Amino acid sequence: MAVLAGTVLLAALLPVTGRAARAAELACDLAVALLFFLYGARLSARETLAGLRHLRLHGLVLACTFVLFPLFGLATALLTPRPLTEHLQTGVLFLCLVPSTVQSSVALTGAARGNVPGAICAGTYSSLAGLLLTPLLAAWLLGSRTALSADGLVRIGAQLLAPFLLGQALRPRIGGFLARHKRLLTPVDRASILLVVYTAFSAAVAQGIWSMTTPGALLGLLAVLLLLLATALGLARLGAHLLGLDRESTIAAVLCGSQKSLANGLPMATVLFGPQAGLLVLPLMVYHQLQLVVGTVLAGRWSRAPDLTGAGSPPPEAGSEADPTGDPHGTPEVTRSRSG
């Protein structure tokens, strides 16, 4: 969290401009491609297919991520035309279209003694679906505010999908190496995300983001995001109850179904919005920090409770932490710089 905030502050004080900005944009494009290449190379198709047995859990997470959240975003556009500014409102709607995260969902589910394998697969399926659904939903709901055209689709394919597929193709050759050296590669993930943040916010500063964002709008944004998170948590838990999920799967559904991925959302924003991305990713960054804080509190509470209501069946055996090699991005987010 501190590193991410420091990167934003650095971009505010020392934004990259001119030729350096063009070089930074090229480096950012390469960093995005590298992120998705590593994602594909780390993703085990066998483990992903094995997780299909938790169909109710995965269906609920996908419904929360790509149906309920977009509806939430449209509702905020209707209910809060003020005090949010136009670019903040667009950013909130884009936040609602981003896939769920893998790393923090897995780490928090493990800390809460929930269904870790289910959380790994649910986050993975959401991320894979997001490669297609997030751009399409953005084009549909945000329309002309995106740069999605025939050229934009080609760019998405070249910058996101092609590296992912290349990573999958090379996984039999390099997957073992990446698994053995995952801690050495963690700084690569961090640096890539921070480069995207710095480049996007430098462009936003050059476009006058602070002159377009009032203190009242920032407070309004915080209130909207807290309401959004509380609603997502409540509806995910209600859905788990209606589907008859057990305690462990309910924990995974609530945590995965309420979270949004900064690691996927930021690169997608740079592709979809181009130079305007820096103006629109602030809601995603704020929501990311909120979900980590609230998720950590909930995980601590659930780890001490017999079940989600405080009574009932005993908790599962301790020691059910996820194997870090099952995380497509490597080390879980809670133990990282909170940047994924």
Q: What is the pLDDT of residues 223-272, one digit of tens each?
A: 999 999 999 999 999 999 999 999 999 999 999 999 998 878 887 887 77
Residue 339 falls inside a structural domain: no
For residue 105, give its domain range: 2-310
CA dist 340 and 332 (Å) reads 9
Q: What one-character DSSP code corresponds to residue 65?
A: I
Token digits of residue 104: 């923090």
Residue 336 falls inside a structural domain: no
Mean pLDDT, to the nearest integer, of 164-170? 84
Residue 18 falls inside a structural domain: yes
Q: What's the length of the chain?
A: 340
pLDDT for the residue numbered 310 = 42
Residue 208 backbone zone (phi > 0: left; psi -120 to 50: alpha; other: beta):
left
Q: SS3 helix, strand, coil % of the chain, rounded to 5?
A: 80, 0, 20
Residue 316 falls inside a structural domain: no
Nearest to 146 by CA among 101, 183, 94, 224: 94
Token digits of residue 206: 């050059």
Stated pTM of the model: 0.74
DSSP string, 277-302: HHHHSHHHHHHHHHHHHHHHHHHHHH
Tens digits of per-residue pLDDT, 187-199? 777 787 778 777 7
Assess whether the previous peptide bond of 83 is cis (omega < 30° from 0): yes
Residue 320 falls inside a structural domain: no
Q: How far is CA 243 from the centre of its chain?
A: 25
CA dist 146 and 152 (Å) reads 9
Residue 76 falls inside a structural domain: yes
Token digits of residue 331: 């080390």
pLDDT for the residue numbered 149 = 54
pLDDT for the residue numbered 306 = 62
Across 72-76, 97-101, 231-235, 306-310, least confident range: 306-310
Instruction: Pick the more confident residue, 311 or 111.
Output: 111
CATH number of the domain residue 31 falls in: 1.20.1530.20
CA dist 75 and 70 (Å) reads 9
Residue 7 falls inside a structural domain: yes
Residue 330 falls inside a structural domain: no
Instruction: Pick the more confident residue, 331 or 198.
Output: 198
CA dist 276 and 278 (Å) reads 6
Token digits of residue 143: 């329309």
Indicate if the pLDDT at residue 144 is higher than 70: no
Number of domains the chain contains: 1
* Rounded (10°) angle between helices 247-257 and 55-63: 30
